[in-house]
Amino acid sequence: MTNNTKEEENQGPTPQGNIPPENENENEVSIDSLARKVQESLSLANRHKFWETQPVGQFKDLADTSLSEGPIEAPTPLSEVKQEPYNLPAQYEWITCDMDSEEMCLEVYNLLTHNYVEDDENMFRFNYSKEFLGWALRPPGYYRSWHIGVRAKSSKKLVAFITGIPARIRVHDSIVNMAEVNFLCVHKKLRSKRLAPVMIKEVTRRVHLENIWQAAYTAGVILPTPITTCQYWHRSLNPKKLIDVGFSRLGARMTMSRTIKLYKLPDQTATRGFRKMEPHDVPAVTRLLRNYLRQFAVAPDFDENDVEHWLLPKEGVVDSYLVESPETHEVTDFCSFYTLPSSILGSQNHSTLKAAYSYYNVSTKTPLVQLINDALIMAKRKDFDVFNALDVMHNESFLKELKFGPGDGKLHYYLYNYRVRHVLRPSELGLVLL
């Protein structure tokens, strides 16, 4: 990892703020040239010391076409996996976080709320709800031992956290059992203690104990080496509030009233048969989603249990809608978004930015633009301020038409101990990590 503690101690997506006004386009940069620039700008001493010791794609190997796709290191015999936790500084101890416990959930919530990822200007910080954390960390087959905390021995205060959850991820034609690693967070006052590499090694050790040798994760910073880099786009739902809190700003020659008019949505959805997903829809949605995700180079391998967990609506956590043909009752289309508010730091009038994040969407009969516009209407109805989407899957086809603007944040996707031969375009990625 780099020596930049803010980058190092918070691994995850970035709360995207600051939508540039219309027509300010960034130049697209390829990962290869970006990687070269990063390497050239860092002195030898400051390169990714930690990551250069790990089985991940290295920048120096980007041009090497002889390297085969697949695991970088072979699995170790389970008997040789380190049985004892890694050593922490003497004043700290490992704990396993029981996310079924209301008290533990509250501790994790408080740590993340005050110390997790902020945007570059320190104006917004993710504010995952306790319900969201329970959903994100307890999918089918989860391991409690992968929810890892660090306590200060004297105060018993939770000062650091990292998690893994099991997932089946298809990479081209191979289905690989992986851990999705997330929520790496170290208390702001401990950023100089080099806890993050120890925590990454500890979650890796615990994953290996379950005979799983690969992982997927995201970060807002460049580490060795992204399989793809995605752009966040934002669609204003409450433009006045977004401008008031500095999330976006008025475009040139735009007034507030013209801006509000520009982003106004219809009151009613347009699609016949558009309705909220219900428990009995799980098999149909699973079929639709599995069929759709086959076309992407990297995507989850969802079964009905996964769909029930991740996509069945949960108030304040995830919303899912589908289109059922009034004539045949066939489920033809599906859209979903999850709720991830951010704390607004330093605003007199507002404390929370209510953001919806595009999740999995499948269009077979209804045009995707129409389907997502209906999702925007539902999000507006539920008082969301902004609707965010990455340019993954087919999302690029609706972004400009539905008045999304590019944000100033990028999200880099990584695989641990798995080499993908070619860097992917965002549109080849069928995976959304929370």
Residue 61: both structure tokens together: 């190997």
Long-range (24+ apart) CB contacts under 8 A made by 58-65 are 58/224, 58/225, 59/35, 59/224, 59/225, 61/225, 62/31, 62/32, 62/35, 62/225, 62/423, 63/32, 65/421
Q: Which residues contact 355 (CB under 8 A, 6 or more apart)?
A: 339, 340, 341, 342, 384, 385, 386, 387, 388
What are the φ/ψ torsions at residue 113 (nearest 5 degrees)? -60, -35
Tell me whether residue 434 is one of the annotated catalytic residues. Answer: yes
Selecting among 112, 133, 137, 434, the annotated active-site residue is 434
Task: Work out the end-to-end distance of the chain between its first and last CA atoms, rounded to an integer number of angstroms.
Answer: 22
CA distance 328 to 431: 31
Say what the alpha-carbon torsion angle 239, 240, 242, 248 is, to the nearest 10 degrees.
70
CA distance 123 to 15: 9
Q: Which residues contact 43 (CB under 8 A, 6 or more apart)?
A: none
Give the pairing of strands 362-363 and 355-358. unpaired
Quick check: 59 and 11 in contact, CB under 8 A? no
Q: Which residues contact 222 (CB under 8 A, 6 or more apart)?
A: 34, 35, 38, 412
CA distance 225 to 203: 20
The residues assigned a catalytic role are 434
